[in-house]
């Protein structure tokens, strides 16, 4: 039994993402033989990624300790894994006391139902490299970055207590500047949708939140100069066989722009999009920063086609962001009534 | 407490830190709404704002003394409901709703809609039969 | 004698004809193309239709005012000087004037007077004051087309066309030959497209009623219906037309039109104009714990 897993782990280490469906079949009956599926192409010859795609899943980014020796599960194990994850994630539980309850807003059907299902390949983590499925150990922060992190923690504590001092202490997501459109793309609780458009020389990826698009030139032009920095960086793409490889640089250096607040000077991100089936794209990202992680790491998240039955819809955010006023105005009122930020956050 | 196969060691709490986006990531409801001020009432919908990042349901609540309080109930993103086939016609003024939630910490007539139900006990917006939503049995047509 | 004559006549005739042709060619070659006129043009094809891909921009001053407007000092000239002043421009409205119902003219004037006033402390009055552009809200249709920023059309072989605007990184999906209705209103509306020969016709409904047409306070109701037409008229121009219909505000439908210009800089791309951070002090500054100078 373990030898089979060992060989499956070996298979998992193979870089090509196309091996995942094959690996998933290991513990199951192989699918019936049909005409080999080939990647469709656009009229101008690029692999076709056009459509609306959803990436929601309950499979955690990093492998939980209980399955540290199992990168892939059997059908029964995966079903149990999914049940336990769903139990932890569902918003329809009312147990755990009022503190837990208020944070579970709203009912489950306001959330993306797909986020309670594990990936079809039954992996125990989205991280595929390092092989243990965990984020690599962190490099000690420089004194400046430690200071920045302490400042963020202070603002976060004030936010959690509902007493933010100004809009600047709120996250970029709450301020409606960037949300899931900031790469790398990670599944979240709702609106896990992406629409891909293509034209000769371009691929455009439009995430639902917040209504933006990364329009990626494929003609080999250089990035904009390093003196120009953007919230979503600057992306360039190329085809590597059937895989779209995207390199993004020129990120702004504000807190929260770069993934996990890595060092803007040395952070690199590469994303790979591969159409592996009629209804599936494999999205893979590799991030590295010698000032943050001891080694690069890679995760793969399958995207499932949802159109034409389902669509991506406009996600206005700043336009009707009443919450900012509620949070700030409410904080000022409560301060007047003598409330202060508790020393220890009761929600921890 | 049920036995968990994969999370026995860390428990579900550990799971939430491993979840790709922790539940409290972008909006800690506990920071705005008061766990110690639960509210439960029945009211009449006067308007629903189908907006992002949160939909808002305006509800008139008749008090015992006959006066009417105007509450604003915060709900989730309407886009999820659109994909289930619901539209702005799905909750019209005049409908009755049962609100189970938590009031804003600053005492305003505002609550997060923890659990919204129709008077007959059905959860609000849960069903989408006949609307062409993905879990609908009726066949879908493009566009 | 006659043969000799002919031998002279023909070359002279041909010579004269060539001189005439040369004269005409150089005469027109020396002249710029006539404004408002495009020679007949057939756009290249993509997946069976005219190819509208590219980075485009309007250069009318319609975002200041759709109708005729003189140069004006703009808000707070004692601070902004010429920076804040508005340029003159001729109306992009066919016939010159927007056909408002009489009551609506007063509302337009009120909008203009309050265009820089903002008060977000009452949820119910959140959208009552101020130009949505000032607050960095998505501009709606057709205003997004004539904001002073480029936009990009990404047209492929699927059922959808993307239009991405540099202003506040907003996007719009044109659903081709689409039957389904919008589930609710949206700032950029619900766009259904179809081809009429080489013209992309976009039918836009379900626009949020809070958008304005320009900084002059031109507005509409929730009954707004816009039909756009994008027609390639040269390798470097699209002709844009938008017919605006709103029986609650106007006495009849009306039309705007102007060319869109292909941005020809090598390696042109949309950059970011994420203006939300530029508006936060205006909107939320007075709610700071320590009020900023401007908001005390």
Q: Which domains occur in chain B, in start order?
A: 28-117 (2.40.50.140)
Residue B56: helix, strand or coil by DSSP?
Answer: strand
Check CB contact under 8 Å for B78 and C180. no
Largest CA distance in chain C: 109
Q: Residue B49: list chain A partners with CB under 8 A.
A: 320
B138 vs B136: CA distance, rounded Å? 6
Gap from B22 CA to chain C (nearest CA, Å) = 25
Angle at alpha carbon of residue A112, lines to A107 and A117, rounded to 5°? 110
Candidate from C132, C187, C284 with C-beta closest to A314: C187
Check CB contact under 8 Å for C183 and B82. yes
Q: What is the mean pLDDT of residues A37-59?
A: 97
Question: Which chains have at least 3 CB atom pairs separated by less than 8 Å from chain B?
Answer: A, C
Strand partners, C54: C153
Candidate from B72, B88, B142 with C-beta closest to C184: B88
In chain B, which residue's Cα lies nearest the Cα of C123? B72
Average pLDDT, chain A: 90
Neighbour tally for C90: CB within 10 Å: 13
Percent of chain C whose predicted confidence (pLDDT) is above 70: 89
Strand partners, C89: C69
Could you report the per-residue pLDDT of A2-23, keeping only the tens digit for each? 444 434 443 444 443 444 443 4
> Chain C within 8 Å of B72 (Cβ-Cβ)?
yes
H-helix or E-strand containing B82?
helix B78-83
Pairing verdict, β B110-117 and B68-74: parallel
Which C-chain residues 248-267 have CB contacts (< 8 A) with chain A? 267
Percent of chain A whose predicted confidence (pLDDT) is above 90: 82
> Chain A within 8 Å of C126 (Cβ-Cβ)?
yes
In chain C, which residue's Cα lies nearest the Cα of B86? C183
**Eight-state DSSP code of residue C124:** G
Gap from C14 CA to chain A (nearest CA, Å) = 48
Q: Residue A199: list chain C partners with CB under 8 A.
A: 46, 53, 154-156
Predicted ipTM of the assembly: 0.89
Neighbour tally for B139: CB within 10 Å: 6
In three-state form (DSSP H/G/I as H, E/B as E, the rest C), the secondary structure along chain A is: CHHHHHHHHHHHCCCCCCHHHHHHHHHCCCCCCCCCCCCCECCCCCECCCEEEECCCCCCCCCCHHHCCCCECCHHHHHHHHHHHHHHHCCCCCCCHHHHHHHCCCCHHHCCHHHHCCCCCCECCCEEECCCCCCCCECCCCHHHHHHHHHHHHHHHHHHCCCCCCHHHCCCCCCCCCCCCCCCCCCCCCCCEEEEEEECCEEEEEECCCCCCEEEECCCCCCCCCCCCECCCEEEEEEECCEEEEEEECECCCCCCCHHHCCCCCCEEEEEEEEEECCEEEEEEEEECCCCECCCEEEEEEEEECCCCCCCCCCCCHHHCHHHHHHHHHHHHHHHCCCCCCCCCCCC
Question: What pLDDT does A4 receive?
Answer: 45
With left for phi above 0 and alpha for psi between -120 and 50, is residue C177 left, alpha or beta?
left
> Chain A within 8 Å of C171 (Cβ-Cβ)?
yes
For residue C47, tell me if it sits in a domain: no
CA distances from B46 to A253, A310, B94, B104, C183 (A): 45, 29, 6, 20, 19
Candidate from B26, B83, B112 with C-beta closest to A105: B112
Question: What pLDDT does A14 receive?
Answer: 41
For residue C216, tell me if it sits in a domain: yes
Q: What is the mean pLDDT of residues A29-34?
A: 54
Neighbour tally for C123: CB within 10 Å: 17
- Of A231-235, C7-11, C113-117, C146-150, which gets the smallest average pLDDT? C7-11
Pairing verdict, β C190-196 and C171-176: parallel
- Of A113-117, A159-163, C131-135, C144-148, which gets the smallest average pLDDT? A159-163
How many domains does chain C contain in total? 1
Question: What pLDDT does C29 receive?
Answer: 60
For residue C209, tell me if it sits in a domain: yes
**Residue C205 is part of which domain span?**
53-72+87-287
Picking from A72, A76, A86, the residue whose alpha carbon sits closest to that of residue A117 is A86
Q: What is the mean pLDDT of residues A261-270?
A: 95
Gap from C70 CA to chain A (nearest CA, Å) = 31
Check CB contact under 8 Å for C188 and A314. yes
Candidate from A84, A161, A323 with C-beta closest to B6: A84
User: Which string of b and e fits C230-252 if b means at least 16 CB within 10 Å?
Assistant: bbbbeeebbbbbbbbbbeebbee
Q: Which of A52, A68, A76, A88 is the best residue to mutate to test the B interface, defined by the most B CB atoms within 10 Å of its own CB?
A: A88
Residue B15: helix, strand or coil by DSSP?
Answer: helix
For residue C295, tell me if it sits in a domain: no
H-helix or E-strand containing C162?
strand C160-165
C164 vs C173: CA distance, rounded Å? 9
| Terminal-to-terminal C-alpha distance of chain C | 105
> Chain C within 8 Å of B106 (Cβ-Cβ)?
no
Pairing verdict, β C160-165 and C171-176: antiparallel
Question: How many alpha carbons lie under 13 Å from residue A28 in its C-beta half-sphere?
Answer: 18
pLDDT in tens, chain B (143 residues): 455 667 654 444 444 444 444 433 456 688 889 999 999 999 999 999 999 999 999 999 999 999 999 999 999 999 999 999 999 999 999 999 999 999 999 899 999 999 999 999 999 988 654 333 343 333 334 44
Q: Which of A168, A197, A225, A257 is the best residue to mutate to test the C interface, defined by the most C CB atoms within 10 Å of its own CB?
A: A197
Could you report the per-residue pLDDT of C46-76, keeping only the tens digit for each? 999 999 999 999 999 999 999 999 999 988 9
Interface contacts B/C by beta carbons within 8 Å: 26
Query: By the 8 A CB rule, do A324 and C284 touch?
Result: yes
Check CB contact under 8 Å for C177 and B88. no
Q: What is the mean pLDDT of residues A234-244?
A: 98
Q: With bands split at pLDDT 50, 70 and 90, how would you rate the model's confidence at C20?
A: low
Residue C123: helix, strand or coil by DSSP?
Answer: helix
B24 vs B30: CA distance, rounded Å? 9
Strand partners, C262: C56
H-helix or E-strand containing B43?
strand B33-49
Average pLDDT, chain C: 92
The residue among C241 and A28 whose pLDDT is bigger is C241
A323 vs A339: CA distance, rounded Å? 20
Question: What pLDDT does C15 receive?
Answer: 67
Q: Residue B141: list chain C partners with CB under 8 A.
A: 179
Pairing verdict, β A127-129 and A297-305: antiparallel
Question: What pLDDT does B29 receive?
Answer: 82
User: What values do phi and psi take at A158, rounded to 5?
Assistant: -65, -40
Q: Residue B143: list chain C partners with CB under 8 A.
A: 159, 175, 177-180
Could you report the per-residue pLDDT of C144-179, keeping only the tens digit for each? 999 999 999 999 998 999 999 999 999 999 999 999
Check CB contact under 8 Å for B50 and C183. yes
Neighbour tally for A282: CB within 10 Å: 21
Check CB contact under 8 Å for A319 and C138. yes
Pairing verdict, β A51-54 and A297-305: antiparallel
Q: What is the mean pLDDT of residues A169-181?
A: 96
Question: What pLDDT does B58 receive?
Answer: 97
C157 vs B118: CA distance, rounded Å? 45
Strand partners, A168: none
Q: Residue A195: list chain C partners with CB under 8 A.
A: 160, 162, 173
Q: Residue A217: list chain C partners with CB under 8 A.
A: 269
In chain C, which residue's Cα lies nearest the Cα of B85? C183
User: Which string of b and e fits C33-54 if b means at least 16 CB within 10 Å?
Assistant: eeeeeeeeeebeebeebbbbbb
Gap from B63 CA to chain C (nearest CA, Å) = 22
For residue C10, tell me if it sits in a domain: no
- What are the residue ranges spanned by the domains of chain A? 2-37+57-129
Q: What is the mean pLDDT of residues A87-103?
A: 91
pLDDT at C27 over 60: no
Check CB contact under 8 Å for B9 and A98. no
Candidate from A65, A112, A329 with C-beta closest to B9: A65
The residue among C259 and A161 whose pLDDT is bigger is C259
Question: What pLDDT does A106 receive?
Answer: 84
Could you report the per-residue pLDDT of C178-221, keeping only the tens digit for each? 999 999 999 999 999 999 999 999 999 999 999 999 999 999 99
Query: By the 8 A CB rule, do C203 and C190 touch?
Result: no
Check CB contact under 8 Å for C171 and A211. yes
Check CB contact under 8 Å for A60 and B20. yes
C57 vs C236: CA distance, rounded Å? 11
For residue C98, tell me if it sits in a domain: yes
> Chain A within 8 Å of C270 (Cβ-Cβ)?
yes
Question: What pLDDT does C119 receive?
Answer: 94
């Amino acid at each position: 039994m373990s030898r089979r897993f060992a060989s499956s782990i070996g298979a998992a280490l193979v870089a090509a993402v196309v091996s995942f469906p094959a690996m998933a079949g290991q513990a199951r009956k192989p699918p019936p033989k049909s005409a080999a599926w080939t990647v469709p192409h656009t009229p101008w010859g690029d692999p076709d990624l056009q459509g609306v795609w959803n990436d929601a899943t309950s499979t955690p980014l990093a492998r939980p300790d209980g399955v540290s020796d199992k990168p892939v599960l059997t059908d029964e194990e995966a079903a149990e894994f999914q049940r336990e994850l769903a139990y932890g994630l569902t918003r329809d539980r009312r147990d755990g006391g009022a503190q837990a309850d208020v944070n579970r807003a709203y009912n489950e059907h306001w959330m993306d139902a797909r986020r309670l299902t594990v990936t079809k390949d039954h992996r125990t983590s989205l991280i595929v490299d390092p092989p243990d499925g965990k984020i690599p150990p962190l490099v000690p922060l420089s004194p400046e970055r430690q200071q920045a992190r302490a400042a963020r923690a202070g603002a976060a504590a004030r936010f959690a207590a509902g007493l933010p001092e100004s809009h600047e202490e709120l996250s970029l997501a709450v301020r409606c500047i960037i949300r899931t459109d900031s790469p790398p793309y990670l599944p979240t609780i709702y609106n896990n949708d992406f629409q891909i458009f293509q034209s000769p020389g371009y691929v455009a990826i439009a995430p639902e939140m917040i209504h933006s698009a990364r329009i990626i030139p494929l003609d080999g032009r250089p990035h904009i100069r390093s003196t120009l920095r953007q919230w979503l960086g600057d992306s360039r793409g190329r085809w590597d066989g059937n895989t779209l490889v995207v390199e993004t640089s020129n990120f702004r250096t504000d807190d929260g722009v770069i993934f996990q607040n890595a060092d803007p000077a040395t952070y690199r991100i590469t994303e790979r999009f591969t159409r592996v089936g009629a209804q599936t794209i494999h999205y893979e990202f590799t991030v590295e920063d010698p000032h943050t992680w001891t080694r690069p790491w890679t995760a793969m998240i399958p995207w499932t086609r949802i159109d034409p039955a389902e669509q991506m819809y406009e996600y206005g955010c700043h336009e009707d962001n009443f919450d900012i006023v509620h949070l700030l105005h409410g904080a000022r009122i409560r301060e007047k009534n003598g409330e202060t930020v508790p020393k220890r956050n009761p929600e921890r | 407490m049920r036995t968990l196969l994969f999370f026995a060691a860390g428990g579900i709490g550990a799971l939430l830190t491993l979840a790709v986006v922790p539940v409290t990531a972008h909006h800690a409801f506990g920071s705005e709404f008061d766990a110690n001020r639960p509210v439960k009432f029945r009211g009449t919908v006067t308007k629903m704002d189908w907006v992002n990042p949160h939909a808002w349901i305006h509800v008139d609540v008749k008090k015992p003394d006959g006066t009417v309080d105007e509450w604003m109930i915060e709900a989730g993103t309407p886009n999820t409901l659109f994909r289930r086939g619901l539209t702005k016609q799905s909750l019209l003024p005049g409908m009755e709703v049962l609100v189970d939630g938590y009031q804003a910490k600053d005492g305003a007539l505002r609550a997060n809609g923890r659990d919204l139900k129709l008077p007959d006990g059905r959860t609000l917006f849960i069903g989408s039969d006949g609307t062409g939503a993905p879990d609908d049995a009726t066949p879908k047509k493009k566009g | 004698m006659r043969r000799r004559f002919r031998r002279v006549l023909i070359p002279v005739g041909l010579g004269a004809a060539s001189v005439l042709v040369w004269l005409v060619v150089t005469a027109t070659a020396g002249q710029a193309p006539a404004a408002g006129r495009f020679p007949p043009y057939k756009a290249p094809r993509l997946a069976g239709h005219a190819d509208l891909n590219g980075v485009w921009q309007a250069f009318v001053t319609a975002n200041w005012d759709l109708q005729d407007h003189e140069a004006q000092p703009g808000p707070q000239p004692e601070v902004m000087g010429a920076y804040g002043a508005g340029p003159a421009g001729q109306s992009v409205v066919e016939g010159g004037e927007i056909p408002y119902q009489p009551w609506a003219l007063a509302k337009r004037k009120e909008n203009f007077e309050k265009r820089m006033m903002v008060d977000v402390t009452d949820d119910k009055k959140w959208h009552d004051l101020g130009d949505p552009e000032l607050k960095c809200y998505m501009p709606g249709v057709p205003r997004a087309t004539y904001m002073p920023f480029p936009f990009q059309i990404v047209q492929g072989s699927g059922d959808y066309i993307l239009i991405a605007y540099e202003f506040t990184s907003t996007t719009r999906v044109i659903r081709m030959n689409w039957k389904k209705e919008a589930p609710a209103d949206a700032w950029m509306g619900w766009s259904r497209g179809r081809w009429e020969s080489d013209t992309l016709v976009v039918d836009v409904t379900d626009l949020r009623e809070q958008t304005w047409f320009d900084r002059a306070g031109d507005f509409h109701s929730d009954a707004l219906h816009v039909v756009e037409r994008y027609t390639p008229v040269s390798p470097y121009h699209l002709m844009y037309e938008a017919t605006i219909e709103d029986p609650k505000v106007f006495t009849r439908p009306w039309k705007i039109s102007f060319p869109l210009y292909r941005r020809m800089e090598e390696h042109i791309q949309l950059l970011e104009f994420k203006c939300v951070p530029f508006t936060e002090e205006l909107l939320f500054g007075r709610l700071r714990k320590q009020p900023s100078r401007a908001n005390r």
